[in-house]
Chains A and B, each alone.
Chain A
Amino acid sequence: MTTIDTTTTDPTTTSGAPRGASDRSDLKRNGVIDSDVHPNFVNGIRDLMPYMTETWRTRLGISGADWAKGMAAAQFTLPLDYLYINPAGAYREDAARPGMPPATDPEFVAKQLLDPHRIYRSVLLSGQCLGIGAMPDGMVAATIASAYNEWMCERWLQVDERFRGAIVVAPQDPEAAVAEIDRMADRDGVVAVFPLGQILMGEKHYWPIYEACARHELPIVTHPSGTENVFAKAPQMAGTPTFYLEWHTALGQIHQSNTLSMICHGVFEKFPNLTHVIAEGGFLWALEVMWKLDRDWKGLRNEVPWLTKPPSEYLLGNVRFTTQPFIEPHDPRHLAPLMEMLHADRVLMYSSDYPHWDFDNPDRALQGLSPELRRAIQVDTPRAVYGDRLD
């Protein structure tokens, strides 16, 4: 295969990296907020060793047994989905440097992502820890979550103030998750909580976690974990997709199930100030969900009498969607009416998904939208969701 050199220059005018106080205040007012960036480990779970006790390093089997280090199947790994293969690689080639996997060096990420695109804040969602909710042992998952959160604070949030982070919690053990939220809520740079597990998220199992998030005014965020359909308990409506293309396109199904579950169980009635950010889970499906849910609810409201308003209003009020990968309708003229139907100015938030292969450039991906809508998506809505924790 021949590689094609595409050294196109970006036609959009950016005034480059911010310099001086006036630039900084302009960046604060108008800079893009990016809701989905993945920081990666260099050596997998071993990167977390400094953030664990020897007891837990022993429990996880990552401190001894030299013979196991060379055998992939003989040592403990984080749950990841290696059953789907993106033949082109799941990462931007240009995000990797010799000997360094993509998005492992915060300074390089700042140079490649934050500076050129005038990004004011990027919210980190762990690459490798998104699947801990699929682990069979909640104590193990809670330990890894705490270690990851410490790693993220020390290695990323304290290195560049433009990084913000979602802490990971283990939803298998709500009590531990609440303790972790209480422990981390006031740390500098923490803006959200990632609690994805194996139970549909409206269920009461989750309510202590939501109570803690609501108390600390922290939104929750979910994102595909890479563990979909790998475990029998993973939420699935049918069988297992065959291809990466198939799986990747269908990811919205899981978010749809979780959104329906949370609305129907009355989560947003119980916790009216809780926001759920759905990252990389699509958003146009919300149109059908809103319309169908409202129609069916009129006949089925006896089942969910705690809903005090049409269910779509909970979605519009408490659920937000990140934009990447942004939609490309066959007929570009369809974009504007779709955005209007979706109330995009209220529910969409820009995301890049750096360093992944399907990265959305903030200057290009939303080009088809009006400047007002772009601003709502890139600045105003994320500001409303994360609040003062951004500044």
Chain B
Amino acid sequence: MTDATTGTATTAAPEGTRHVVATLAELPPGSRRIVEIDGRSIGVLNVDGRLHALMNRCPHHGAPLCEGVVKGTMQDSAPHEYSYGRHNEFVVCPWHGYEFRLDTGRPLVDMGRLRVRVYEVRAEGDDVVLYV
């Protein structure tokens, strides 16, 4: 499983402008914050201690994606069988239920070339820092 929290082994400075969006105490696991940067709405989510940042806009119809539920998904299975897995790897669009990977922004089902833009986000000291 990909751990999207960066800053652990990265030495190179991330690209983009540095924005402190919250303190770590303000963004505990299970919480999220929607921020506006340069006219763009971006969701910053703390999922089980992993930080994720995605464009707060579903590529399908423009819904506020980052207000959706974070959860796992039903994995491939034989007809009439269910197998839940990949817990909390996805954010589910609040409008039509499309599932997007938190770490890459890729939809679980093929949507052509559509995907959600993801941003670099990391903990630096006590701060949650977003690079746009």
The residues of A with any CB-CB pair to B shorter than 8 Å are 204, 265-267, 269-270, 297-303, 305-306, 308, 310
Contact = CB atoms under 8 A, between A and B. Distances in A.
B81 interface: yes
Contacts, number: 46
B127 to A, nearest CB: 36
A310 B80 CA distance: 17
A308 B78 CA distance: 10
Q: Helix, strand, loop or mixed for chain B's interface?
A: loop
Nearest to A265: B79
Nearest to B96: A299
B25 interface: no
A12 to B, nearest CB: 44
Interface residues of B, number: 22
A306 B79 contact: yes
A310 B97 contact: no
> DSSP class of A's interface residues: helix, strand, loop or mixed?
helix
Give me the 9 closest cross-chain CB pairs, A-B, nearest first: A299-B97, A266-B79, A305-B74, A302-B74, A299-B96, A306-B79, A270-B79, A298-B109, A298-B98
B108 A306 contact: no
Interface of B: 60, 73-83, 93, 96-99, 107-111
9 contacts: A266-B80, A270-B79, A298-B109, A299-B93, A301-B74, A301-B108, A305-B82, A306-B79, A310-B109
B74 A270 contact: no
Contacts of B109: 297-298, 301, 310
Contacts of A297: 109
Contact of B80 (A265, A300, A301, A308): A265
B2 to A, nearest CB: 21
Contacts of A265: 79-80
B64 to A, nearest CB: 16
A298 B76 contact: no
A270 B78 CA distance: 8
Contacts of A303: 74
A306 B97 contact: no
B98 A299 contact: yes
A308 B79 CA distance: 10
Contacts of B75: 305
Q: Which of B76, B82, B93, B97 has the most CB of A within 10 A?
A: B97
A51 B130 CA distance: 81
A294 to B, nearest CB: 9
A269 B109 CA distance: 17
A266 B80 CA distance: 8
